[in-house]
Amino acid sequence: MSDRKRKPILVIGLGRFGAAVALTLERMGHDVLGVDVDARLVQEFAPQLTKTVEADCTEATTLQRLGATDFDAAVVAIGTDIEASVLTVLALSDLGLNNIWAKATTQSHARILERTGAGHVVFPEQRMGERVAHLLNERLLDFISFGNEFAIARLEAPEAILGLPLVTSRCREKYGVTVVGVKREGQDFLHAIPDTIIFPKDELVVSGKIADIERFSSI
Ligand code: ADP
């Protein structure tokens, strides 16, 4: 286990998104304070997080009482109640916190959050929507895009390169994608090397332009 000290993080809003963030941070070894106005959620996550508190975080005085300034980062995971989300970000930024992450539901919500002090604004629903659209292509098993053009995807090895070492199939020159990793059935992913032969049912991790990955998946 690493002895690197993990930083304490404040997560405000324990809905679906906030809970996923908080639980993942805990698994990564961070101390997480989870806060929600909903007593039921506070109780539900109490056994799994370092600490949980029931509070309305729209007031700077409440956040001060929670010791918000002692945290290295805060995640404001309130989406539906835009007023509460904006007031919470504003209060955190008034207290001097400069690593504030916030969830937005619309572009205008995001613009307001950025103006009120959120350095990082995320759109989980929009990102997931884009991802699902690509995953509807049944050959893609996982997909992460970076901007509108570039992506990394996991996919079943396409027919045209089966039985060949990667040096022969020349995926980058012919299809515009780089094969980064290969997973044989029942084994873990390994880095792809020129000599790696691709077998039926192998899974590949590839990077490249989105259009090239889509095309490569059905060659
Ligand atoms: P999700 O779609 O991720 O479930 P929601 O916006 O529906 O997101 O949930 C946000 C959570 O934030 C809810 O659990 C809600 O009780 C909580 N919340 C809303 N307003 C406040 C507030 N002022 N202070 C703390 N928590 C809040």
- Pocket of ligand 1 contains residue 73 by CB under 6 Å: no
- DSSP three-state, residue 216: helix
pLDDT band at 5 (very low <50, low <70, confident <90, very high): low
Asked which of 122, 153, 170 is the last residue of a domain, the reply is: 122
Same domain, residue pair 183 and 103 = no
And the tokens for 147? Answer: 């901007």
Model pTM above 0.90: no
Whether the predicted pLDDT of 129 surpasses 90: no
Whole domain around residue 58: which residue ranges?
9-122
* Helix ranges (DSSP H) in 38-94: 39-45, 60-65, 82-94
Question: Exposure of 79 by Cβ count < 10 A (0-12 exposed, 13-18 middle, 19+ buried)?
Answer: buried
Residue 4 CA to residue 156 CA, distance in Å, equals 37
Whether the predicted pLDDT of 4 surpasses 80: no
Distances (CA, A) of 164 to 22, 171, 187, 193: 44, 11, 19, 12
How many structural domains is the chain composed of? 2
CATH of the domain at 142: 3.30.70.1450
The chain-wide mean pLDDT, for the chain, equals 93
Asked which of 122, 156, 176 is the last residue of a domain, the reply is: 122
Same domain, residue pair 103 and 137 = no
Contacts of 154 (CB under 8 A, 6+ apart): 140, 141, 142, 143, 203, 204, 205
- Judge contact between 122 and 104, C-beta under 8 A: yes
Contacts of 207 (CB under 8 A, 6+ apart): 150, 151, 152, 153, 177, 178, 180
Q: From atom 17 of ligand 1, which residue's Cα is the shortest distance away?
A: 13
- Judge contact between 97 and 69, C-beta under 8 A: yes
Please tell me the distance between residue 79's alpha carbon and the centre of ligand 1 in angstroms: 7
- Pocket of ligand 1 contains residue 57 by CB under 6 Å: yes
- Pocket of ligand 1 contains residue 42 by CB under 6 Å: no
- Judge contact between 14 and 38, C-beta under 8 A: yes
The answer to the question of residue 210 being in a domain is yes
Name which of 106, 61, 98 is nearest 80 in CA terms: 106
Please tell me the distance between residue 135's alpha carbon and the centre of ligand 1 in angstroms: 29
Whether the predicted pLDDT of 7 surpasses 60: yes
